[in-house]
Structure 1
Amino acid sequence: MAQVSLEQVRKVYPNGFVGVDGATFDVVDGELLVLVGPSGCGKSTLLRMIAGLEDISSGTLRIGERVVNDVAPKDRDIAMVFQSYALYPHMTVAENLGFGLKLRGASKADIASRVDEAARVLELGKLLDRKPAALSGGQRQRVALGRALVRHPQVFLLDEPLSNLDAKLRAGMRVEIARLHRQVGATMVYVTHDQVEAMTLGQRIVVLKDGHVQQIDTPMALYDRPANLFVATFLGSPAMNVLRGRLVRSDGLALDLGDGLRVPMGEGASVPDAWLQRDIAIGVRPENLLPATAGAGAFHSTIEMIEALGNETLVNVRVGAQTLVSRMPPRELPPPGQSLPLSIAPGRWHAFDAATGERLAPTG
C-alpha cells in the first residue's frame, strides 16, 4: 500500500469553470479517507484526478514517492470501484474476478489463488459459479469490490459504490467495506454524498463545497467542532439547528431573535464582549435541544410535527420565524400546535459569524 499526497491540486475546465481549487491533503498509508459533499462539489473530479481519468491543471499528485501527474491510469497501480457494478453478464463470478488479471497475463495458478483469496475475504465462495443476473445488488457490489481486491493495488478508489442499493443493503455493505479495510489494511479513498456513510466509514473526512476543501478531520472532531456553518449543517442527521439573532446579557446570556423573543444560552454561558450586539448564528445539535420545565433557562416553542421513530422522537418546532428539531427519548408530548418549553444544554452550542459562516471560537 502507499500514501497519496495532493499539493495545491487544481482542475480548471476549458470554459473556465474551476472544478477543484487548491486541494492539499495526504491519505496516510492504510487509511480509509472519505471525500464528502453535495452534488457538484468536486469530490468525484478529485477522485478521477487521483485515478488519472481527469488531467490535473496545476499542483502535484504523488502516489507513494512518485509524482503521477502525467502517468497513465494503468501505470498508477490503483484499482477503482464505480457506482455501476460493470460486471460482464456472460461471465461467472469467478471469471469476472479474474478477468483483469487474465488481461495482464497472470498465470492460471496466480489467478486462481487471488480469486480464492478475494472470495474468502468477501464471502463469495458459494457464488463463484453464478452469473451476475443470479446475484442480488449487494452480492454484485461485493464482486465489484473483489475485482479490485485481486489486483493487490497500492490504492483503492471507490466512487459512490453504494448509491444504487436500497437503505438496508447500503447499511450492510458499509459493514462489509469497513471489514474489508480492516482485513487488508488497504489505502482507500471513498467518495460519497451521503454524510451517514462518511461518518460511519471514514477514519478521516474531507468535506468539500464548490471545489474548495472546507475541513479535514476525524468524524467526531468534525461533528463536535465544525469549522463553519456549511460543515456544521452538512454533517449530522437531523442537521444542526441554526438560530440567528444577537447575543445580549439579560439575566444571563441570551440570544435575541427580535419581536421580543429571547433564547437563554444555558447556565454559566459567557462570551467575549465583542460577540454582543452583533448578528450571529448559534448552532445547536438536535440532541442538545432539551425538553424543559417552564421558568428560568427555558424558552417556548410551538410543536409543528412529531416523528415517533421508536427508539427516539424527533420534534419539529417553531420559535418565532425559525424552525428547529429536538431529538429526545420516546415520551408523551403535547399535540402539534401546542407549546413545548425547551432549553439548550449548557455549553453545547456553537457560535458562527452570521455573514461569513466561519466558527468564532469555542463555546462557553
Structure 2
Amino acid sequence: MPAVTGRAGDRQYFIAGEMMASVQLDNVRKIYDNGQVAVHGASFEVADGELMVLVGPSGCGKSTLLRMIAGLEDITAGTLSIGERVVNEVVPKDRDIAMVFQSYALYPHMTVAENLAFGLKLRKYDKATIEKRVAAAAETLGLTLMMDKLPGQMSGGQRQRVALGRALVREPSVFLLDEPLSNLDAKLRHSVRTEIARLHRQLGTTMIYVTHDQVEAMTLGQRIVVMKDGEVQQIDTPMALYLKPANLFVATFIGSPKMNLLWGELQQRDGLRLVIAEGVELLLQPQPAMEAILQTYVGKQLTIGLRPEDMHLGPPGAGRLPAKVEVVEPVGNEAFLNLGCGGCDLVIRLPPYDLPVVGGQVHLGYVSERMHFFDPDSGIRVEPA
C-alpha cells in the first residue's frame, strides 16, 4: 500500500511510515555551457540517516555535485531523488534540505539568537515554534550562554557552530555541508569535527559532507565517495578504502602519510622479484591465487604499494631494500623517515627512538601479505577475481 502524505504544520509526514531521507543519484552529469564536464555520470545512494563524505582534490567536482543536490546548480542529465521524489526541477527551498557553507555567512549585526531564528522567521513560523527550535539547537551545540553575542565577539569555532545551528533549526531531511571546517585552524577543526560527528549520532539525520581533507573524510564518514576529475573512483567504508584501494589514485589519496609506491620489472628468479634498480629488488611472497595473476606480469612493468606502517628497519640481508635517509620527522609519539630507494621516494612510520641520521644508509623489511599490486598503465588494482 503506498504511503499517504499530509502536512503537520509546515513539515511533511508519511502516515504509513516515517519520511524517507535517502538521496539517490542515477548517472547525474554536469556540463557547463563552454563544454566543460564537471561531473561524469555519478551514481550512488546515500542511505536514510547515513553520513556520506565526498572527498577529492580541488576541482574534482565534489562541491558541484553537492550544489546539484541542493538545487543551486542545474543537472545536465541523470536523475536526482530525495526520498522517493525526483527533485531535478524542484527549487532549493522545496527540497527539505539545509546547507552549511565554508563561509559562516552570519549576519554581523544580529545576535546568535537572531541568526538562529532568522530563517524560520522568513518562513513564517509562529513565535513559539521558533523559540522552541532555537533553544533546542543552542543547547545541542553549546550556544545557550552565547545567545546575546554578536558574531564578531565569537571565535571561528563558535561562529561555525552558529552556522550549524541555523541549519539545525530547519529540521531538514538532509544536511549538506560544503567544506565547513576549511577556515578553522587545526585545533578548532578537530573540535568542530567532533561536534559534527556527535550531532549526527544524536540526530540520526542524513548528512552529505564535502571536504578535500582525507583525514576529515576518514574520521567522519560512514562511507566515502572518492572523486577525481569529475568521476567517482571508489565508494566504500573508510577502512575498506584504506585496506583495499581500487586504483593508484585512491591508494595515494587515502592515508597519511600516503602509500609508498615502488615500480619496476617483475622477474621470475628464485621466486617473483620486482627489479626496481640495479641491486634493488623487492622479493614477493604472494598467496597462490595472487601469484597466478602476477605470473601474467613477468617480464612486464608492475607497481607495488606498501603503507608506511608496513615497512620497517632491519639488518642487511636477502629481501631487504637498501635506502638512503633524506629527512627525519619526529612528531611526538612517532617519527617519519623520508627515504630514497632506487629512484622511488618512500616514507616509513617508526617509534620515535634511536632514529637513523640524515644521509645514512638503512635497510628495509616489509610485510609481504600487505602488499598492494597495481597495473602501471591503467592504475587499476591487480587481484584475483
**Which letter does structure 2 place at the counterpart of 1:115?**
V
CA distance in 2, matches of 1:344, 1:178: 35
Which residue in the other structure is 2:72 paired with? 53
**2:190 is equivalent to residue 171 of structure 1:** yes
Is the 1:262–1:299 contact (alpha carbons within 8 Å) kept by the matching residues of 2?
yes
The match for 2:248 among 229, 233, 255 is 229
The match for 1:277 among 280, 296, 299 is 299
CA distance in 2, matches of 1:310, 1:208: 33
CA distance in 1, matches of 2:284, 2:42: 37
In structure 2, the gaps of 5 or more residues are 1-19
CA distance in 1, matches of 2:384, 2:210: 30
CA distance in 2, matches of 1:83, 1:220: 27
Deviation digits for residues 46-97 of structure 1 (CA, Å, limit 9, x no counterpart): 0000000000000000000100000000110100000000001111101100
Q: CA RMSD in A?
A: 1.4
**Which letter does structure 1 place at the counterpart of 2:340?**
R
Shift in Å, 1:268: 6.9
Shift in Å, 1:10: 0.3
Alignment of 1:1-364 (within 5 A): 2-265=21-284, 271-272=291-292, 273-361=295-383
Shift in Å, 1:331: 2.1
Deviation digits for residues 105-138 of structure 1 (CA, Å, limit 9, x no counterpart): 0111100000011011111111111110111000
SS of 2:102 mapped into structure 1: coil
CA distance in 2, matches of 1:134, 1:23: 42
Shift in Å, 1:289: 1.1
**Which letter does structure 1 place at the counterpart of 2:291?**
V
Is the 2:181–2:192 contact (alpha carbons within 8 Å) kept by the matching residues of 1?
yes
CA distance in 2, matches of 1:225, 1:322: 22
**Which letter does structure 1 place at the counterpart of 2:355?**
L
**Which letter does structure 2 place at the counterpart of 1:80?**
M
TM-score w.r.t. the length of structure 2 is: 0.92
Is the 1:81–1:157 contact (alpha carbons within 8 Å) kept by the matching residues of 2?
yes
**Which letter does structure 2 place at the counterpart of 1:107?**
D
**Which letter does structure 2 place at the counterpart of 1:239?**
K
In structure 1, the gaps of 5 or more residues are none
**Which letter does structure 1 place at the counterpart of 2:311?**
L
CA distance in 1, matches of 2:79, 2:287: 49
What is the aligned length?
363
**Which letter does structure 2 place at the counterpart of 1:193?**
H
TM-score w.r.t. the length of structure 1 is: 0.97
- Range that drifts further, 232-241 or 296-305: 296-305
SS of 1:271 mapped into structure 2: helix
Is the 2:221–2:238 contact (alpha carbons within 8 Å) kept by the matching residues of 1?
yes
Deviation digits for residues 182-225 of structure 1 (CA, Å, limit 9, x no counterpart): 00001000000000100000000000001100000000000000
Sequence identity of aligned pairs in percent? 62
CA distance in 2, matches of 1:244, 1:46: 35
SS of 2:215 mapped into structure 1: helix
Is the 2:275–2:281 contact (alpha carbons within 8 Å) kept by the matching residues of 1?
yes
Is the 1:303–1:335 contact (alpha carbons within 8 Å) kept by the matching residues of 2?
yes
- Range that drifts further, 289-298 or 261-270: 261-270
Change (3 A) 1:276 1:173: same
